[in-house]
Amino acid sequence: MAIVVVDYHKGNLSSVARGLVRAGGEALVSDRPEAIAAADAVVLPGVGSFADAMAYIDESGQGDAVLDVIAAGRPFLGICLGLQLLFDRGNEGAGDDGREWVEGLGVLSGSCTRLESARLKVPHVGWDSLDVTPLGRRCPLLDGVPEGTNMYFTHSYAVADDADPSVVAARTYYARSFPSVVWHGSVFGTQFHPEKSSGTGARVLENFVRITQGAA
């Protein structure tokens, strides 16, 4: 059972891989589309900006490989920016070349926009709680994760109000309410970083490893 952590050359991904190994999985960090496409499961972690990440993912062929994995029904986990890239579009970095939006992977419907607040500091960095939805109470990724538990966040952008509510497994409030966990079929996403979220975050990674084992 191989879980590939996608390397799109925007940061250190070793903490995610180590977390998956501690959770009982076999994790491989790779930037090769063929390795991604052959994986039993894929994790797309959160590093960099929406525009930069999508530019590399599109040019490298990683995007097509990720979509092939999802189409085949193999487990997929997006973390932080990796969750945002699942959606139709985002405006982080879009204005650099005159565009209003940058296209995402389009697996889930909705857009990603900046958190705006006159009172709260942005980026949103630190521990914050999960408001688990009825969908989330059935979500295997959140098995054993209690309502109101705190997870570690670090982000300036989040999924906006136009997201399909049928895929929202948990929400968090900071500047505005935003989806912090999504789930659709074999596709999961967390806006928080489970690899940095202590024991409860480790439980989320253990759940993903179990989901992968069950699918394999």
Taken in order of first residue, the domains within the chain and their CATH numbers are 3-215 (3.40.50.880)
Active-site option among 112, 155, 195, 206: 195
Q: Which of 78-92, 97-111, 174-188 shows the lowest mean pLDDT across its residues?
A: 97-111
Active site annotation includes 195? yes
Active-site option among 112, 124, 193, 206: 193
Relative to beta strand 187-190, strand 150-155 is unpaired
Active site annotation includes 112? no
Percent of the chain with pLDDT over 90: 90
The pLDDT value given to residue 183: 98
CA distance 189 to 153: 13
The pLDDT value given to residue 10: 76
Active-site option among 80, 112, 139, 155: 80
Summary mean pLDDT of the chain: 95
